[in-house]
Chains A and B, each alone.
Chain A
Amino acid sequence: MLNVKEMLEELKASPYEEIEVVTPHTGVIEFVGLKPGDRVAGPGGKWNEKPGTLLANLTREKNKKPICATQKGLVTDIAAGLEGTFVEAGVRLLTIRHFLSKDEVIARILKKALYLFCAPERAKYYFVPEIDAKIKAGGEQSVKPREGMEMFIVSRMKRETPLAYSGPEGIVYAVYFQQGDNVDGGQPLIGVCQESQLTLIQDVVNRVQGEWEEQD
C-alpha cells in the first residue's frame, strides 16, 4: 500500500527538484559567469518560445551552441573546473535547484496515488447514462470502476461509440473533463484510487493546499 504521508514528509524535507544540466555532446565548455546561488529562469513567453537563462556555451567544430536553463530555480553547484576544457557528452555542468510549486507537489502525489485513465483520441466524452445518474446523485466517489466496465461514450463526427474502463479497481477520485467538451488524445479523463486511500489522499491534498509554501 502507498504511504502518502511518508511521501509528503519526503517532499517537505527536500521541497525541490534537482536538475542536472549535462552536456548534450562533446565540446569546449565556456561558462557565462554564473555563481552558485544565482537565479535562473526557464523558457518563457506565451508559447515557451523564449529560451531560458543562458548557462554555458558549448563549442564543437567552431560551432558555438548555447545551453539554456529548462526550469527556473537556483544554481547550486557549478563544475567550474571544466571552464575552457574539452568535455565528453553527458558531463554534468551544474545543478539547478527547482523549488516545487503547489500544483507540482499535488501532481506528484496524485501521480503516485492515482491511476489515470486517459482519452484514447480527441473527441467529446460523456459518461454512460447510469454512471452519469450515479455521479449526479451521489458524487464522483460513488462510482466504482472495474476492468471492462462500460463507462464512457466517445462522440466524434456524429459517431458515438462506447468506451470501457481498463485498469485497477477502485473508486473515481476526480473527473478531469467537462461533458460535451473536446478532450485531446492522451489527456486524463478520470483518476482512480483505492477505496481505502480516499480520505488519506483528500487530506494530503488539503494539507498541501493550505501549508505548502512556495519558494521564489
Chain B
Amino acid sequence: MDIDKRTQQLAARLAYISDIFGPRENASVALLKHRLGEFLASASGYGMRELHLQVDRLEELFSLLEGKLEGELSPMDRVRIVRHPQRICLKDILENVYDNYAEIGGQDEWSIDPGMIIARATIARRMGKRTVQQPVMIIGQEKGHGQEFRNGGSIKPWGNANALYYMRVAEAENIPIHTYVFTPGAFPVEDYPGAAQQIAKNLYVMAGLKVPIVAVFSEGGSGGAEAIALADKRLMLSHGYYSVISPEGAAAIEGGLKEKASPELIERCAERLCITAGDNLRLGFIDRVIKEPALGARPDNYEFFRQLRREIVRATDEVVHAVQGLGPLRALAMRRARETADPLDIFVRWSLSASARNALVSQRHKKYRAMSLGALNDNSTMGTRLYTGLVRCLWQVNSLLRHDMLAKYKRRLSGILEQMEAELRALDQGLGGPFGLFRHVGGNRMGIPPEALKLLTSLSCPEEGACRTEDSWVYVSPKSRADRTVTCPNTATHGCLDLWAPDLFGEFAGVCSHCGHHFPMEFQWYLYNVFDFAQAYEFNTELESCNPLHYEGFDLKLAEAKRATGLGSSCITFETRIEGLAAVVAILVSPFRGGTVGAAEGEKLIRAIERARIKRMPFLLYSHGTAGIRIQEGTCGVIQMPRVTMAVRRYIDAGGLYLVLYDTNSYAGPVASFLGCSPYQFAVRSSNIGFAGPGVIRETTGVEVPPKYHRAFSALSRGHIQGIWDRRDLKKNLHQALLTMGGSNLYYR
C-alpha cells in the first residue's frame, strides 16, 4: 500500500540520519525519532484521509529538518556519509551520468582487482539534429554499496597497474579520461608491483599523459587517490573528503599508536586536517565543488546525476578549450554561459590536435606548480628574489646557447668525425696490401700513451700494499666518542661479536665488520663524507616549513624540530661535485619531523629539480629517511606527490638524469611518488623501503607481514630498486653511476 511504502521510506531516511550522526545527541534527530514513533504507534487508529495528512506532514518535517541538519554536519559526519553503504558509487554514476558504457577492466568479481572499475563510456551531445557520441575512458574505485569483494575501494597494486594500462589506451585513442576517486586509501601490500612503486608509476605517467583528465573526488584517501587523480580539472562532491590520512589514522598517531583513539579525538583530528570540499576549494587543491542534495547524494537522487553530468561535461570542455581554440562564437558563448546554461548546448570536440596535446601537458605542469605556494614560509628578501630570477634567466640563455644550439652542431660534427675515424681504423686493421702502410703509425698499441697503458694494465699501487684511502672520514660521528660496545641486531643469526663504538662509528662507518649490517648514521656524515658539503653551494635555505592549517600544537613541535636540527625544513638542497662531476643534490633529513614532506620540502625539491634542468646537471635525491607526507599539513602535503613528480617528469623528459638513493627507512607518499618514479633507484644496505609500515598493514588489511618484509633486498627482487650499495662505497658508486647512466656529457639526450 502507498502509505506503508511511504512510512518505510521515512524510517529508512531516519536510519540513514542516525547512521550519519552516530552516537551524538541531536535535538532534530530526537524530534524526528519521536514524531515517527508517535505516528507509527497511533497509525492504526487513523482513517485513510487522516493517514495521508499525517504522512504528508511527516515528510515535510523530514525535508525541513534534513535541511537543518545539513548545516550541522561536522567533518567527521561527512566522512561517515562518504563511507555509508547507501552513498552513490561509481556503478551508479556509470548508469546515470553516461549514455552507454562497457566495463573493460574486468567485470564484478571477475577482475584482477574488483575495487577498480575501468569502462569505456559515451556521452551523447546534440549538434543541431545530429547526435554525436563522445567516447571517454572512465577509471575509478568502486565501493559497491558494501559488496565484500570490492574491498571497500581499497586498490591493490595490480589494480592501479590495470588503471595505468587503460590510461595509456585512452592516450593512444586520444579520448579524455574521467576518473572517480572513491577510495579510503591504497591496499598497502608490497607484492609485485608494490603499492608505492605502482602509485609512483601512475603519477609519473599521468604527469605526461596527453589527453584531458578530469577527476571527481568523493572519498580521496591520500596515495590511493593520487594514483588516478592527477588531473587537469579536479572536481569534488560537496560531501566528500580529500585527506592525507584517515581521521582515525591521524588520531592513532596523535594519541600514540598503542591504544585505540577515542571518538572525540578522531572528531578533532577530522576538523584539524581540513578535509572537506570547502576546505580543499579554499586551499586551491580542487577547482569546483559539485553541490549534493542535503545529507549527501544517494542512488535515487536523479537530479544530482543530471547535475554531475553537466559539470563533468563542462569541466572536460574547459580543459579542451584551454588548449585548443574553439570558434570565437562558441568561446564567447562558453564564457557567457559559465554558470547558467547547459554545457551540452555548445558543442566541443574532445579529441586534441598534436600541438594541443603538448600544450595540455605544459598547462597541467603550470597548474600544479602554482599549488600550495602559500603553505610555506619564504624568508627571502625582494632583492634575493630579483637576483635569483635574473641569474635563472642568464642560465637559461646560457643553456639554450650551449646545449640546445651549439651542442646540436657539435654532436653532428663529432658524429661525422667518429664515423671517419672508424672507417680509417677499419682500413688500417682489416685490409692488407698497400693499406697496411698505415699500421703501427702511432708507435705503440692503438696509439695509447705508455703511462695510460700502465695504469690500465697493472695493479693500482702494487708496491704500497693495500691502498685504502678512505680510512679517515672527514666527518666523524659523535656516536664514536662513547666508550662502549654495540651489539649488531644480527648477532643471533650471524654470530656477530660486539663492536666497540669508536671503531664502529668511526673507521667502520657504522657497518658491522662481521655481517655487514649498516647502523644508521647522521645525515651530516653523508653530507661531508659523500657529498662534499664543505665545498657545496646550498640554496633556498630561506624556504621554511610552517603550519598552514594551523594544526593545534604543531607550531611548538615544528619550532622544536627547527631548534634541534638547525634546519628550516626536512630538505637540504645544494650544488656539489662528486669526484669532480657537478650535480644538484637534495636530501630528506630524517631527524627533522621524521623526514616528512610538506609544502616547503616540496617547493625546495621542485626548485632544485628546475635548477638541475636549467643548468643541465644530474639531479640526485638522497633519502636519509622519510616517514611520508607530513600529516599536519593535510592536503598541502599530499599535493606535493603530484607536484614534485611533475617536476621530475619534466626534468627527465628534458633529458635529465635523476638518481635516487634510499637509506634507513623510507615509506609512504614520497616513495609512492617522486622517489619511486625515478628510473635509477639505489639503496644503502639495511635500509627499508615500503608504502606502509608493518603496524599499519596489520591494522588496515589484517595481514601479518614477516619481519624483513620491507628490506631493501625485497625491493630489489621486486624490481623497485636497481641496486644495493655499501655505505663505504657510496661516493665511488655514485660517481660510477653518474658516469654509466649519464654518459659522457651527463645529460644523455
Which A residues have a C-beta under 8 Å from some C-beta of B? 45-47, 49, 60-63, 65
8 Å CB contacts to A: which residues of B122-144? none
Check A47–B487 contact: CB distance below 8 A.
no
B714 → chain A, closest Cβ, in Å?
Answer: 14
Cβ–Cβ < 8 Å partners of A60 in chain B: 485, 498
A16 → chain B, closest Cβ, in Å?
Answer: 25
Does B2 sit at the interface, judged by CB under 8 A? no
The CA of A61 and the CA of B500, in the complex, are separated in Å by: 9
Q: Mark B694-717, 1 if CB is under 8 A from A, else 0.
A: 000000000010110000000000
The CA of A62 and the CA of B482, in the complex, are separated in Å by: 9
- Given A60-B485, A60-B498, 13 other A-B residues pairs in contact with their CB atoms under 8 A: A45-B704, A46-B706, A47-B706, A49-B706, A49-B707, A61-B498, A62-B482, A62-B484, A62-B485, A63-B484, A63-B485, A63-B498, A65-B487
Q: What are 23 of the A-B contact pairs (CB < 8 Å)?
A: A45-B704, A46-B704, A46-B706, A47-B706, A47-B707, A49-B706, A49-B707, A60-B485, A60-B498, A61-B483, A61-B484, A61-B485, A61-B498, A61-B500, A62-B482, A62-B483, A62-B484, A62-B485, A63-B484, A63-B485, A63-B486, A63-B487, A63-B498
The CA of A45 and the CA of B704, in the complex, are separated in Å by: 9
Q: Mark B675-705, 1 if CB is under 8 A from A, else 0.
A: 0000000000000000000000000000010
B707 → chain A, closest Cβ, in Å?
Answer: 4
Cβ–Cβ < 8 Å partners of A62 in chain B: 482-485
Q: Which residue of A lies closest to B706 (CB)?
A: A47
Q: Which residue of B lies closest to A51 (CB)?
A: B492
Which B residues have a C-beta under 8 Å from some C-beta of A? 482-487, 498, 500, 704, 706-707
The CA of A77 and the CA of B235, in the complex, are separated in Å by: 70
Cβ–Cβ < 8 Å partners of A45 in chain B: 704
The CA of A20 and the CA of B498, in the complex, are separated in Å by: 24
The CA of A61 and the CA of B483, in the complex, are separated in Å by: 8
The CA of A65 and the CA of B486, in the complex, are separated in Å by: 10
The CA of A135 and the CA of B240, in the complex, are separated in Å by: 67
A44 → chain B, closest Cβ, in Å?
Answer: 12
B212 → chain A, closest Cβ, in Å?
Answer: 48
Cβ–Cβ < 8 Å partners of B484 in chain A: 61-63
Q: Which residue of B lies closest to A49 (CB)?
A: B707
The CA of A45 and the CA of B706, in the complex, are separated in Å by: 10
Cβ–Cβ < 8 Å partners of B482 in chain A: 62
A155 → chain B, closest Cβ, in Å?
Answer: 27
Q: Which residue of A lies closest to B498 (CB)?
A: A63
B711 → chain A, closest Cβ, in Å?
Answer: 13
The CA of A62 and the CA of B484, in the complex, are separated in Å by: 5
The CA of A132 and the CA of B56, in the complex, are separated in Å by: 82
Cβ–Cβ < 8 Å partners of B486 in chain A: 63
The CA of A199 and the CA of B482, in the complex, are separated in Å by: 66
A51 → chain B, closest Cβ, in Å?
Answer: 9
The CA of A60 and the CA of B487, in the complex, are separated in Å by: 10
Q: Which residue of A lies closest to B704 (CB)?
A: A46
Cβ–Cβ < 8 Å partners of B704 in chain A: 45-46
Cβ–Cβ < 8 Å partners of A65 in chain B: 487
B319 → chain A, closest Cβ, in Å?
Answer: 50
Cβ–Cβ < 8 Å partners of A49 in chain B: 706-707
The CA of A69 and the CA of B162, in the complex, are separated in Å by: 48
The CA of A47 and the CA of B704, in the complex, are separated in Å by: 10
The CA of A49 and the CA of B483, in the complex, are separated in Å by: 31
Q: Which residue of A lies closest to B694 (CB)?
A: A49
In the A-B complex, list the 8 residue pairs whose CB atoms are closest, starting with the nearest.
A62-B484, A61-B485, A63-B485, A49-B707, A46-B704, A61-B484, A47-B706, A63-B484
The CA of A63 and the CA of B706, in the complex, are separated in Å by: 28
B435 → chain A, closest Cβ, in Å?
Answer: 55
Cβ–Cβ < 8 Å partners of B706 in chain A: 46-47, 49
A202 → chain B, closest Cβ, in Å?
Answer: 39
A28 → chain B, closest Cβ, in Å?
Answer: 13
Q: Which residue of B lies closest to A25 (CB)?
A: B498
Q: Which of B484, B486, B500 has the most CB of A within 10 A?
A: B484
Cβ–Cβ < 8 Å partners of B500 in chain A: 61
Q: Which residue of B lies closest to A46 (CB)?
A: B704
The CA of A61 and the CA of B704, in the complex, are separated in Å by: 37
B369 → chain A, closest Cβ, in Å?
Answer: 45
Q: Which residue of A lies closest to B492 (CB)?
A: A51
The CA of A46 and the CA of B483, in the complex, are separated in Å by: 38
B708 → chain A, closest Cβ, in Å?
Answer: 9
The CA of A181 and the CA of B482, in the complex, are separated in Å by: 55
The CA of A101 and the CA of B76, in the complex, are separated in Å by: 51
B630 → chain A, closest Cβ, in Å?
Answer: 30
The CA of A45 and the CA of B698, in the complex, are separated in Å by: 13
Cβ–Cβ < 8 Å partners of B498 in chain A: 60-61, 63
The CA of A49 and the CA of B704, in the complex, are separated in Å by: 12
Q: Which residue of A lies closest to B499 (CB)?
A: A63
B80 → chain A, closest Cβ, in Å?
Answer: 34
B495 → chain A, closest Cβ, in Å?
Answer: 11
The CA of A70 and the CA of B483, in the complex, are separated in Å by: 31
Q: Which residue of B lies closest to A48 (CB)?
A: B707
Cβ–Cβ < 8 Å partners of B707 in chain A: 47, 49
Cβ–Cβ < 8 Å partners of B485 in chain A: 60-63
The CA of A110 and the CA of B482, in the complex, are separated in Å by: 53
B609 → chain A, closest Cβ, in Å?
Answer: 40
The CA of A46 and the CA of B482, in the complex, are separated in Å by: 37
Cβ–Cβ < 8 Å partners of A63 in chain B: 484-487, 498
A135 → chain B, closest Cβ, in Å?
Answer: 38
The CA of A49 and the CA of B482, in the complex, are separated in Å by: 30
The CA of A14 and the CA of B486, in the complex, are separated in Å by: 41
Q: Which residue of B lies closest to A63 (CB)?
A: B485
The CA of A62 and the CA of B486, in the complex, are separated in Å by: 9
A154 → chain B, closest Cβ, in Å?
Answer: 28
Q: Which residue of A lies closest to B500 (CB)?
A: A61
The CA of A45 and the CA of B483, in the complex, are separated in Å by: 36
B111 → chain A, closest Cβ, in Å?
Answer: 30
Q: Which residue of A lies closest to B707 (CB)?
A: A49
The CA of A65 and the CA of B489, in the complex, are separated in Å by: 11
Cβ–Cβ < 8 Å partners of A46 in chain B: 704, 706
A63 → chain B, closest Cβ, in Å?
Answer: 4
Q: Which residue of B lies closest to A61 (CB)?
A: B485
The CA of A45 and the CA of B707, in the complex, are separated in Å by: 10
The CA of A63 and the CA of B498, in the complex, are separated in Å by: 9
B503 → chain A, closest Cβ, in Å?
Answer: 12
The CA of A1 and the CA of B706, in the complex, are separated in Å by: 46
Cβ–Cβ < 8 Å partners of A61 in chain B: 483-485, 498, 500
The CA of A49 and the CA of B698, in the complex, are separated in Å by: 15
The CA of A60 and the CA of B500, in the complex, are separated in Å by: 11
A13 → chain B, closest Cβ, in Å?
Answer: 34
The CA of A61 and the CA of B502, in the complex, are separated in Å by: 12
The CA of A61 and the CA of B503, in the complex, are separated in Å by: 14
The CA of A166 and the CA of B482, in the complex, are separated in Å by: 58
The CA of A49 and the CA of B486, in the complex, are separated in Å by: 21
Q: Which residue of A lies closest to B497 (CB)?
A: A25
The CA of A138 and the CA of B590, in the complex, are separated in Å by: 69
The CA of A47 and the CA of B705, in the complex, are separated in Å by: 9
B210 → chain A, closest Cβ, in Å?
Answer: 47
Q: Which residue of B lies closest to A60 (CB)?
A: B485
A79 → chain B, closest Cβ, in Å?
Answer: 23
The CA of A197 and the CA of B590, in the complex, are separated in Å by: 66
The CA of A143 and the CA of B487, in the complex, are separated in Å by: 53
The CA of A206 and the CA of B498, in the complex, are separated in Å by: 49
The CA of A45 and the CA of B500, in the complex, are separated in Å by: 32
A68 → chain B, closest Cβ, in Å?
Answer: 10
B108 → chain A, closest Cβ, in Å?
Answer: 33
